[in-house]
């Protein structure tokens, strides 16, 4: 099977160099490597032009719209592979990454997506841990990631992670990443909408912990700065998750989800219970997180409602 690897990048030349070097060391080389770069990122564009005659079958394309969604869609629009794999510019796939991905697709024609573990490094320190539950969406809408801590045998999941995921081209057909996702960079939870669309269509998604990439979280150049609180970043992430889930859940599940999300929530998308849990240690910051989360839920609900109205008018 022909394999395309898509790597969105923005102002991370050193990280991108490490990623491309890792792709050169694959036991099963990619048939095509597509690097998607922002049109305003002149430095990276010059770097890619300079290394164009390399060992890799490298192609580049540019995108003018900020955010990872536009970049990944631009790559999908021109990708030629029967398997399309994605990784981040701040990741380095293990040498057997593509070989193991391909073996899963060859083994079962009902598999639409394959992903694996990202081994997260903070400098020289590995963020280690083991978690048996990975990539699941509970019936009431709680999303569990933990892709960086999965162990054990390959298994079916509901959601893959953007730094380490791949798809069968015939399964995704003309499907694209949802352009309604908010954010100007990472656009957190964009994978949820894409993966759940495939699940609704009856396809399988496989998580195999042996399919690994080393992930070195690099500086972001948007509102989401990973370890520091930003109201807009939290509201955007919660909006994206809410929109994806509302389109996946049944009407009854939607109601339960809204109640659970508002009243309980999670550490990253707080409801009232989580706010009370963190209030003693975080004080006013917990209140800001709660407001940002509620704001994101409300905006996600509104986006979902607006999309349904537009669709109804189009059908009429």
Q: What is the DSSP string of 268-305?
A: SSB-HHHHHHHHHHHTHHHHHHHHHHHHHHHHHHHHHH
* pLDDT score for 222: 66
- Give the pair of three-digit tokens for residue 145: 């990631």
Mark out the alpha helices in the chain (DSSP H runs): 13-24, 42-51, 68-78, 97-107, 169-172, 190-200, 231-248, 251-263, 272-282, 284-315
- List the one residue out of 255, 276, 272, 10 whose CA is nearest residue 139: 255
CATH no. of 3-215:
3.90.550.10
* pLDDT score for 111: 98
Mean pLDDT, residues 247-267 taken together: 96
- Give the pair of three-digit tokens for residue 281: 């240690």
Q: Please state the domain extents for the chain.
A: 3-215, 231-315
pLDDT band at 269 (very low <50, low <70, confident <90, very high): very high
pLDDT band at 53 (very low <50, low <70, confident <90, very high): low
Give the residue, 8 or 226, on which the prediction is more confident.
8
Mean pLDDT, residues 285-309 taken together: 94
Is residue 60 within 8 A of residue 33, CB to CB? The reply is no
* pLDDT score for 67: 93
* pLDDT score for 307: 85
* pLDDT score for 236: 96
* pLDDT score for 227: 72
Please state, in angstroms and rounded to a whole number, the distance separating the CA atoms of residues 89 and 302.
33
* pLDDT score for 224: 64
* pLDDT score for 128: 83
* pLDDT score for 312: 46
Does residue 11 have a pLDDT over 80? yes
pLDDT band at 51 (very low <50, low <70, confident <90, very high): confident
Please state, in angstroms and rounded to a whole number, the distance separating the CA atoms of residues 277 and 225.
24
Mean pLDDT, residues 24-41 taken together: 96
Does residue 220 have a pLDDT over 90? no
- Residue 69, CA atoms < 13 Å, CB-side half-sphere: 19
Please state, in angstroms and rounded to a whole number, the distance separating the CA atoms of residues 214 and 210.
12
Does residue 184 have a pLDDT over 70? yes
pLDDT band at 314 (very low <50, low <70, confident <90, very high): very low
pLDDT band at 174 (very low <50, low <70, confident <90, very high): confident
Structure pTM?
A: 0.93
- Give the pair of three-digit tokens for residue 315: 């059908």
pLDDT band at 102 (very low <50, low <70, confident <90, very high): very high
């Amino acid at each position: 099977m022909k394999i395309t690897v898509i790597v969105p990048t923005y102002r991370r030349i050193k990280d991108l160099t490490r990623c491309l070097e890792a792709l050169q060391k694959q036991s099963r080389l990619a048939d095509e490597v597509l690097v998607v770069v922002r049109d305003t990122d002149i430095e990276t564009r010059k770097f890619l032009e300079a290394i164009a005659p390399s060992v890799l079958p490298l192609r580049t394309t540019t995108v003018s719209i900020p955010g990872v969604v536009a970049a990944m869609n631009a790559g999908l629009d021109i990708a030629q592979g029967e398997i399309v794999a994605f990784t981040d510019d701040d990741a380095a796939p293990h040498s057997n990454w593509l070989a193991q991905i391909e073996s899963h697709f060859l083994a079962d024609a009902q598999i639409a997506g394959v992903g694996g573990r990202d081994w997260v490094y903070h400098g020289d320190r590995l963020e280690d841990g083991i978690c048996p539950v990975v990539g699941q969406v509970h019936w009431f809408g709680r999303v569990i990631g933990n892709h960086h801590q999965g162990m054990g045998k390959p298994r079916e999941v509901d959601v893959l992670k953007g730094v380490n995921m791949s798809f069968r081209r015939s399964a995704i057909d003309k499907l694209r990443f949802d352009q309604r996702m908010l954010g100007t960079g990472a656009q957190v939870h964009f994978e949820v909408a894409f993966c759940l669309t495939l699940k609704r269509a009856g396809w399988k998604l496989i998580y195999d912990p042996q399919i690994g990439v080393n992930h070195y979280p690099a500086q972001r150049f948007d509102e989401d700065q990973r370890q520091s609180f930003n109201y807009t970043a939290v509201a955007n992430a919660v909006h994206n998750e809410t929109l994806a889930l509302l389109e996946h859940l049944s009407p009854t599940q939607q109601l339960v989800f809204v109640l659970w999300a508002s009243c309980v929530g999670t550490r990253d998308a707080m409801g009232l219970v989580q706010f009370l849990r963190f209030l003693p240690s975080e004080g006013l910051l917990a209140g800001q997180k709660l407001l940002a989360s509620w704001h994101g839920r409300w905006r996600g609900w509104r986006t979902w409602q607006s999309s349904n109205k537009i669709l109804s008018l189009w059908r009429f």
